[in-house]
Chains A and B, each alone.
Chain A
Amino acid sequence: LAKTTQPISMDSYEGQEVNITCSHNNIATNDYITWYQQFPSQGPRFIIQGYKTKVTNEVASLFIPADRKSSTLSLPRVSLSDTAVYYCLVALSGAGSYQLTFGKGTKLSVIP
């Protein structure tokens, strides 16, 4: 599984857009890029997943450049409730189960 590198922590004021960038230089052709969110005392929650270009859902957008060696999770107009740890993962999707490897993630603190 490709290794990922992301900032340890970030601070943002309420109402701002937050962009968290993750690098995955050795991503393989069949790998997908996945982001999870974890609140204190809870299990991680799937946010978004993509392969290339841009993916958007009701929670976030994911930008992936053509070389796929990095990706950026964008959270529009964050609120205090977005304070959490965000994990970037690269996972091979195949016919069977696939394993997710979680790094330390990025701890996002939203300030009033």
Chain B
Amino acid sequence: NAGVTQTPKFQVLKTGQSMTLQCAQDMNHNSMYWYRQDPGMGLRLIYYSASEGTTDKGEVPNGYNVSRLNKREFSLRLESAAPSQTSVYFCASSAIRDVLNYGYTFGSGTRLTVV
């Protein structure tokens, strides 16, 4: 049981390049989330998907787009990367009914550097 899988684990981009961060969960969860974490800071919500077919903006959505491809997969795209997007990106998922007992399940993160 893998839980939440993120790819890639590390990535270096040049300013202006684009890329897609992939996330997949195998727990049949309805909701999925993308967070970013900057050094010494907490996590900030970028986008979330309450259920398959829906996406909504979080606290810091500018410069990002998301796609809920199916129930398992939720991708995050940077169209034109900027140095300010250097961060660690975490994907998470949750089951609505179980969220009180088990909370969110997080992936291990993608460390992105934009030069």
Write the residues of chain A forming the contact surface with B, with a CB cutoff of 8 angstroms: 32, 34, 36, 41-46, 49, 87, 93, 95-105
Interface centre among B45, B90, B104 (most CB of A within 10 A): B104
Specify which chain A residues have a CB less than 8 angstroms from the CB of B96 in the assembled complex. 95-97
Contact A93 B99, beta carbon cutoff 8 Å: yes
B86: interface (CB < 8 Å)? no
A96-B51, A99-B33 provided; 12 other pairs, C-beta below 8 A? A34-B103, A36-B104, A43-B4, A43-B90, A44-B43, A44-B104, A45-B106, A93-B100, A99-B45, A99-B58, A102-B44, A104-B41
Q: Which 6 A-B pairs have the closest CB atoms?
A: A43-B106, A46-B103, A97-B50, A102-B42, A97-B31, A102-B43
Contacts of A45 in B (CB 8 A): 106
A109–B70 Cα distance when bound, in Å, is 41
8 contacts between A and B (CB under 8 A): A42-B109, A45-B106, A96-B51, A97-B94, A100-B33, A100-B104, A101-B45, A102-B42
CA distance A36 to B37 in the complex (A): 15
B107 A43 Cβ-Cβ under 8 A: yes
Chain B residues with CB below 8 A from A100, complex form: 33, 45, 104
Contacts A32-B100, A44-B43, A102-B43; is A97 near B30 (CB within 8 Å)? yes
Q: State whether B48 touches A99 (Cβ < 8 A).
A: yes
Q: Is the interface of B mostly helix, strand, loop or mixed?
A: mixed
* Contact between A42 and B31, CB atoms less than 8 A apart: no
Cβ-neighbour of B103 out of A49, A95, A97, A103 (below 8 A): A49
> With A and B bound together, what is the CA distance between A41 and B37 in angstroms?
11
In the complex, per-residue mask of B14-47: 1 if CB is within 8 Å of any chain A CB, else 0: 0000000000000000110101000011111100
Q: Are A41 and B109 in contact (CB under 8 A)?
A: yes
Chain B positions within 8 Å of A95 at CB level: 96
Structural contact, A49 and B101, CB atoms closer than 8 A: yes
Cα-based distance from A4 to B7 in the complex (angstroms): 32
Residue on A nearest B3 in the bound complex, by CB:
A43
Residues on A with C-beta less than 8 A from B35 are: 102
User: Which residues of chain B have C-beta atoms less than 8 A from A36's C-beta?
Assistant: 103-104
